Every structure is written in structure tokens, then in C-alpha cells.
Amino acid sequence: METSQLIVLQDVADKLTSIGVDYMLTGSMAGFIYAMPRMTRDIDIVIKIFHTNKEKIINAFKNDYGVSEEDIDFALQHNLMFNFFHKGTKAKVDFIVQKRTEYRLNEFDRRKFFESETYKGYVVSKEDLIISKVEWAKDSFSEQQKIDIKYLLQTGVDEQYLRHWLSELNLSEIFNKLAYE
């Protein structure tokens, strides 16, 4: 992982914390937090953003990041994601608008606070990271997602929770192919 990415990650976490916006790291960098070595170009952050706190976010980031209010509005309207680019490093931060489904709300409630020399902030749980990776891989059966899932499983997970939500989300069959074949 590049040092500049870690610096940007911490800056994002610090800015969101300072303005009281809930967030969690997800994606490959979350895997990196769980000691899963992998190169990644993006920083993926699930964020609780609403029209009511949008201005606080823009104001916190506009000096150091390329920020587009139009992109944020579109993401809010369509429940998608928007990107900021750090002006100094060109690191890309993908802000994923938190979905309001039962599972995604539960996932956010289970986020973990992580503290190390390189990152101090919230990160998705291992189980929920696995579920997201299964969702991402369901169309492509990506070899990288398969490797990531197997690695995360080896580090120990709450199997009951994992199986429950894989079943609820109709992902059990895909998970079994990715994890055990």
C-alpha cells in the first residue's frame, strides 16, 4: 500500500470525524487492514450522507480535494457513489452512499473501530467485507475476489452471521463456488 494512500485515508477519516459524519472503510483497503496484502488504486468509504449534511462535507474537503456538488447530488438522488480526488497525490476516494436496506443498515452498525500506526478509524467487519466481495463477484466470478474471500475466511469469521446474510441475500450458492472450489 502506498504511503500517500494511507495519508489520504487518514485525512478522510479525520475530516469526516471532525464534522460528525459516520463512515466506514470498505473494499480492498479494508482487506489490507485485515492483513490481506493487495494493491489497490481507490479508497472506498461508505458514508452516511444526506442533503442536510452535504454542505458540511463539501466545506471540509474542498480545499484539499477535487469536489463536485453536482456529482454528490446525483449520487444522493440515485443512491450511488461519488468521487473526490486528493489534489496533492491524485489519490481517488470513492464515497459510497449508504443504502437503507436492512442488511446495509446492519452492516454499518457492525463496523469496527480500528487503530494502528497507519490508520485510526472505522472499517467494515470481515464478514460484511466477504459478503460485499461475493456481491461484487457474482457476475464476473473474479479470481481476485475469490482469493480475497478465501484469505479472509482463513483469518476467522462469525460463520453463523455470514451464513445467515448470505442466505437472506441469495448469495449462498455463489459464495460456495467462490470459497470452496
CATH architecture of 3-124: 2-Layer Sandwich (3.30)
SS3 114: strand
Distance separating alpha carbons of residues 101 and 85, to the nearest angstrom = 28
**Cβ atoms of residues 84 and 93 within 8 Å:** yes
**Cβ atoms of residues 149 and 181 within 8 Å:** no
Q: Give the residue, 73 or 137, on which the prediction is more confident.
A: 73
Mean pLDDT taken over the chain: 92
Phi, psi of 115, deg, nearest 5 = -140, 125
Q: What is the pLDDT of residue 2?
A: 64
Average pLDDT over residues 89-107: 95
Length in residues, the chain: 181
Give CATH 3.30.460.40 domain extents, the chain: 3-124
Q: What is the pLDDT of residue 137?
A: 85
pLDDT, one tens digit per residue, over 15-63 is: 999 999 999 999 988 988 886 666 667 899 999 998 899 999 999 999 9
Q: Using alpha carbons, list the distances in angstroms from residue 6 to 33, 89, 117.
A: 11, 11, 10
Q: Using alpha carbons, list the distances in angstroms from residue 61 to 8, 19, 55, 78, 137.
A: 11, 11, 10, 22, 32
Q: Would you list the DSSP string of 6-71?
A: HHHHHHHHHHHHHTT--EEEEHHHHHHHTT-----SEEEEEE---TTTHHHHHHHHTTTEE--HHH
Distance separating alpha carbons of residues 101 and 112, to the nearest angstrom = 20
Say if residue 1's pLDDT is above 80: no
User: Can you tell me which residue has the cell 466470478?
Assistant: 141
pLDDT, one tens digit per residue, over 110-150 is: 999 999 888 999 999 999 999 999 998 887 767 888 888 99
pLDDT, one tens digit per residue, over 4-22 is: 888 999 999 999 999 999 9
